[in-house]
Copies of this chain bind each other. A is one copy, B any other.
């Protein structure tokens, strides 16, 4: 739920530190990607000093599965971050989710730790909130943030407010101890998260310690907020204010690296966990530029992400890459930078992007667009084939839930799940990035492209071994009633009796 990412590495001479900014911003939210009011000078500068990825994707059009994919290098259907309760449904980690990241999954920080890295997550974890899923049990050394999004305020009876953790224990809850004024949109959370990043970097630099910083703050996720200094400063309203504050923070973090003299030892990557949430537009939703639909869908607006790689002295300034990339590649690329091999005992979907970043090579690889347990679409080269199409159900749509506001492409943005497996809908994303003009089934171009794509899909399906689905069972008893540390604060709440049920995923 919400991406833009900062991955920060710092190196001990031979080590490269590593930062990922993993936020929720749409392609069209950055000036460098064409936002009409151009209010992201720092991200635009990051792009002009680094490399812009134009064909970069997330692994899922929703928060939790994307974040699990980034940290494991594996598709959610492999690492368990999906549901089989219904066909092709987006699932995530609300407070009553029973599952989370399995112990059997190897996370990037777990592997880096063995190579001597100190790892910190700032912001939302989103891989489960029960004790066994705690980020410090999965390789992180430090945590400042929350297990879920900042939804609320809740009443602490039917629903507890989301806790904020420092490392092992909670230090308060959103809306109670960490204020978010939904009326004015004011909250100083981004400033707190910024300071956490600056302090962490300073500390590691002082001790010559290589690090991995995962900056996964959720400021552009609804309910949108910004701190006082930024409120009302954007042409785009509150959402734009939040973007400006994030942009300012990222600028400060990059300048901090430069000031400390470690920018040439720190590989930084910015991207997003899903497309902008058009459902929240225009007040709290971002922009996917000219791409079709948004978050929750497997159209380009749901999964093509803004992406910038920055590593002064290594990445040529002002570069642009057409390499097909995926957030899962950050796993493999980071390991490569750290001189580590990816685990050999499991399928890793991420590839090492260094040849693309440092030598301008183009690596041939497909992009798979999953929604829950279904491969909805695949991209090979400039062609994208939809095997299934669905925006959302008529039932949800009739309640006003619209993932494609103002957009309606007949036979494409369907409100029933439409199967096209025998004759996929095919688009040429170069001529038609907005997915408005399916190629004629009878054309030579269609035949030629599908021949190539079919082989890729068949191989993918034949070798696919889905993981145990983690997002099937919900239970109010597992909510954030009494997180570790609640006793010290007098903030423990009494859970209801356990009553596990199949989760309901409408989309």
Stretch at the interface among A3-11, A88-96, A406-414: A406-414
Shortest Cβ distance from A52 into B: residue: B38
**Chain A 51-93 against B: per-residue CB contact (8 Å), 1 yes, 0 no?**
0101000000000000000000000000000000000000000
- Is A287 at the interface (CB under 8 A from chain B)? yes
The reply on A405 being an interface residue by CB < 8 A is yes
Copies, count? 2
Instruction: Give the residue name and chain of the B residue nearest to A434 (CB).
Output: B406
A428 to B238 alpha-carbon distance, docked (Å): 13
Report A298 CB to chain B, min CB distance, Å: 17
Set B27, B38, B408, B428: member contacting A54, Cβ < 8 A: B38
Chain A count of residues within 8 A CB distance of the other chain: 41
A346 at the interface (CB under 8 A from B): no
Interface residue? A358 (CB, 8 A): no
Q: Are A406 and B405 in contact (CB under 8 A)?
A: no
Which residues of chain B have C-beta atoms less than 8 A from A237's C-beta? 428, 430-431
| CB-based contact A235/B430 at 8 Å | yes
Segment among A28-36, A253-261, A454-462 that sits at the interface with chain B: A28-36
Assess whether A487 is interfacial by the CB under 8 Å rule: no
Name A430's closest neighbour in chain B (CB-CB).
B235
Which B residues are CB-close (under 8 A) to A37?
54, 322, 430, 433
Which chain A residues (414-433) contact chain B, with CB distance < 8 Å?
A: 428, 430-433
Is A437 close to B, CB under 8 A? yes
Given A281-B436, A282-B436, A290-B36; A236-B406 close (CB under 8 Å): no
**How far does the Cβ of A469 sit from chain B's closest Cβ, in whole Å?**
34
Chain B residue at minimum C-beta to C-beta distance from A406 = B436
Chain B, Cβ-Cβ closest to A41: B320
**How far, in Å, is A161 (CB) from chain B's closest CB?**
29
Task: Kindly provide the distance from the CB of A220 to the nearest chain B CB, expressed in whole angstroms.
Answer: 14
Residue A270, interface by CB 8 Å: no
Chain B, Cβ-Cβ closest to A318 = B48
Interface string of A259-289 (1 = CB under 8 A from B): 0000000000000000000000111000111
